[in-house]
Structure 1
Amino acid sequence: MDVLRLTAQLKKIGVDYFAGVPDSQLKALCDYLINTFGVSSLNHIITANEGNAVALAAGYYLSTGKIPCVYLQNSGLGNIINPVTSLLNDKVYAIPCVFIVGWRGEPGVHDEPQHLFQGEITLKMLEVLDIACMVIDRQTTEQDLEKQLYVFKSLLNSGKSVALVIKQGGLSYSEKVIYKNNSSILREEIINFITEAAQDDIIIATTGKTSRELFEIREKKGQLHKYDFLTVGSMGHSSSIALGIALNKPNKRVWCIDGDGAALMHLGAMAVIGEKAPLNYIHVIINNGAHESVGGQPTAADAISFEQIALGCGYKASYHASDLKELQIVLSEIEGKKGPIFIEVKSAIGSRKDLGRPAITPIENKTVFMDYIGECS
């Protein structure tokens, strides 16, 4: 279905406000919203996480009386459970909302391992949350949607929420959107420098292309993968995984290679890292200001200072690098210093067209990784 037809039908029931977290399955919708409303306007806001979007939508409804729309990948359903059940639900405040959910891991459709179980339970989760849904695929017509939205309107009027679940290829948009920034260095180059500095240290890599590039760097160099934990899902939680390891392996340096979108999603983790203050912890955020793995849509990273946040959270030192020369200087300077240490590195949006995916399963990664850190004192 053309996203223009989708939004036209939503507008008929009074929905013209959108908040959410970008998703590759919803790229057509995300690109349309960027083209139509921009990154942050009275009609569209890209949020740090999905629960944030639900709360923002609730504020919109309370102040306007109009029905909001929240878009998200189905992996974000976990982040909305609390505000949906304790804020929106008709037994509490009865705040209506239309959810547009990208269905990754749809049964019978090939996908990455982190999406498989979530895909299996997506419709069940919506049912448990008392959110009636319609599944949209390539064959869904505008008339089908109009008919279903007419039914949904009565539910929305009673304070309930509804969802449109989008299968692969379910939405289309004819206009192209190109996302770019002013940086020239690639994330893969940055990760390569970090692996050189880390040597046999432990590395925790965030989800998306960061883990994919780390895996390929090891392959290219003929190095073992035992040093690395590739966080293929759980966006925003790599820094906490790294903290748990650093606290229990105090004699081994632990690097977290994070992304700006992931860090923003659960920014409170940095406060816990600072409070626990592991001396062996190095937190690197590669900041391209984008949700690159799902299309390149912008994050709020350009509006904040990660360096100041890290220092405010109690990190012992904070550094910034805008090119590889500066990064090399920073990596030399932190050698032997006590953590937690924070490093922000600016990078371009983009990756190699032939970038592959890890050739080992998550369980295989876990096994060799645990075997290695089990040997560390």
Structure 2
Amino acid sequence: MKVEAFIKVLNADFYTGVPDSQLKPLCNYLRAEYGIDPKHHVIAANEGNCTALAAGYHLATGKIPAVYMQNSGEGNIINPVASLLNDKVYAIPVIFVVGWRGEPGIHDEPQHIYQGQVTVKLLEDMDIRAFVIRQDTTMEDVSAAMKEFHYVLSQGKSVAFVIGKGGLSYDGKVKYANDNTMSREDIIKHIVKVSGEDPIVSTTGKASRELFEIREANGQSHKYDFLTVGSMGHSSSIALGVAINKPQQKIWCIDGDGAALMHMGSMAVIGANAPANLVHIVINNGAHETVGGMPTVASKIDMVAIAKACGYSNAVCVDNFEALDKALNQAKTDNELAFIEVKCAIGARADLGRPTTKAVENKEIFMEYLQDIS
């Protein structure tokens, strides 16, 4: 159905969420209609964050907010849904809009398969009544569901519209761009060159896809890399776990701004433990590019100051390849925790592929390599 019709049925005037490719029509509509306006539309750091923000909106206005997210974010909302929104606690109603990646019977990437299987069940377990919107769902169907939802919401309970593939459409065009010049793929090529045979942990999305293809193009083994194809926001913690247990080996983490924001508390833990062998690189294009390009707040904050405040002894920001190479080579030779923020353009090759190896195979060869270098 057209996203404009869906918005009309919801009749909400405040939206907050984390962008999702399945919800790209909704995200693009909100961007075109509201931009980033704290009164009507806020892109949050993670799904729990936007759930709490929605609760605050309801407390202040008495109105019912809408929260959008990919189904992978259901885990992040369990705590605030169960201990804040639930009708046995504060009875705060929210309309969730959930992109259904990994829907059974529809091909998707491995990180979405199990999540897709349990998407509706998780909502039901959280006492959130759900209605699925698919490509053939009509406005009349959604209006009827919303009519039933009104009673549920009036009881202080939450509801969800689960959006299957092609469930929403939007004809408007929204262009996402910034003023940075370096491409992420070229940045990763420079990292690969300097890191040599050091292990790399890369974040979910296009960064890991590009790293995989760079290794293929170079004729290199994939044993050097752990591709965090899911678990957005956790690659730096994975890298920390590796670095602590391989203290004589330099470990590199290729992170993204959206991922770093999602669980920024991990930077405080990294800084407090201060592994001298870890290099944490945040490629910052100020966008959730992998799922469509919606902006993050990372272009408005000082990531280097945050890293230094968290305890990173060496933290720099670079916006050109000469400065990048200097920072990478210094991090390679120095014996201290390093943080490198790299300003990056928005965009990727149209023919960018996906890893052709299974996730379990990636894990096994990476673990074998870590054993070999111990």
Q: Deviations over 1:144-198 (max 9, x none)?
A: 1111111100000000000000000000011011100001111000000001110
Worse-matched range after superposition: 268-277 or 328-337: 328-337
Q: Deviations over 1:330-363 (max 9, x none)?
A: 1233332122100000111011111100010000
Q: Does 1:307 align with 2:304?
A: yes
C-alpha distance in 1 between matches for 2:109 and 2:332: 37
C-alpha distance in 1 between matches for 2:52 and 2:185: 35
Which portions of structure 1, spanning 4 or more consecutive aligned residues, are displaced by more than 3 angstroms? none
Q: Does structure 2 conserve the Cα–Cα contact (< 8 Å) formed by 1:40 and 1:46?
A: no
Q: Does structure 2 conserve the Cα–Cα contact (< 8 Å) formed by 1:103 and 1:122?
A: yes
Q: Deviations over 1:9-28 (max 9, x none)?
A: 111xxx22100000000000
Q: Deviations over 1:296-352 (max 9, x none)?
A: 000000111110000000001111110112111212333321221000001110111
Q: Does 1:119 align with 2:116?
A: yes
**Number of positions where the alignment pairs a residue of Structure 1 with one of Structure 2:** 374
Q: CA deviation at 1:138?
A: 1.2
Q: Does structure 2 conserve the Cα–Cα contact (< 8 Å) formed by 1:252 and 1:280?
A: yes
Amino acid at match of 1:351: A
SS of residue matched to 2:333: coil
SS of residue matched to 1:219: helix
Report the aligned-residue RMSD.
Answer: 0.7
Equivalent residue in structure 1 for 2:157, among 160, 169, 184: 160
Amino acid at match of 2:372: E
Q: Does 1:201 align with 2:201?
A: no
Q: Which residue of 2 aligns with 1:216?
A: 213
Q: Which residue of 2 aligns with 1:8?
A: 8
C-alpha distance in 2 between matches for 1:253 and 1:331: 12
Q: Which residue of 2 aligns with 1:262?
A: 259
Q: Does 1:18 align with 2:15?
A: yes
Q: Which residue of 2 aligns with 1:333?
A: 330
Q: Which residue of 1 aligns with 2:347?
A: 350
C-alpha distance in 2 between matches for 1:40 and 1:252: 46
| Percent of aligned positions that are identical | 58
C-alpha distance in 2 between matches for 1:84 and 1:324: 45
C-alpha distance in 1 between matches for 2:143 and 2:220: 55
C-alpha distance in 1 between matches for 2:119 and 2:10: 22
Amino acid at match of 2:86: N
C-alpha distance in 2 between matches for 1:108 and 1:302: 39
Q: Does structure 1 conserve the Cα–Cα contact (< 8 Å) formed by 2:15 and 2:40?
A: yes
Q: Does structure 2 conserve the Cα–Cα contact (< 8 Å) formed by 1:316 and 1:338?
A: no
Q: Which residue of 2 aligns with 1:365?
A: 362
Q: Deviations over 1:175-224 (max 9, x none)?
A: 01110000111100000000111001110000000000000000000011
TM-score normalised per structure 2: 0.99
Q: Does 1:74 align with 2:77?
A: no
Amino acid at match of 1:333: Q
Q: Does structure 1 conserve the Cα–Cα contact (< 8 Å) formed by 2:195 and 2:332?
A: no
C-alpha distance in 1 between matches for 2:155 and 2:358: 46
SS of residue matched to 2:38: coil
Q: Does 1:135 align with 2:132?
A: yes
C-alpha distance in 1 between matches for 2:208 and 2:333: 26
C-alpha distance in 2 between matches for 1:218 and 1:49: 31
C-alpha distance in 1 between matches for 2:34 and 2:197: 47
Equivalent residue in structure 1 for 2:373, among 353, 373, 376: 376
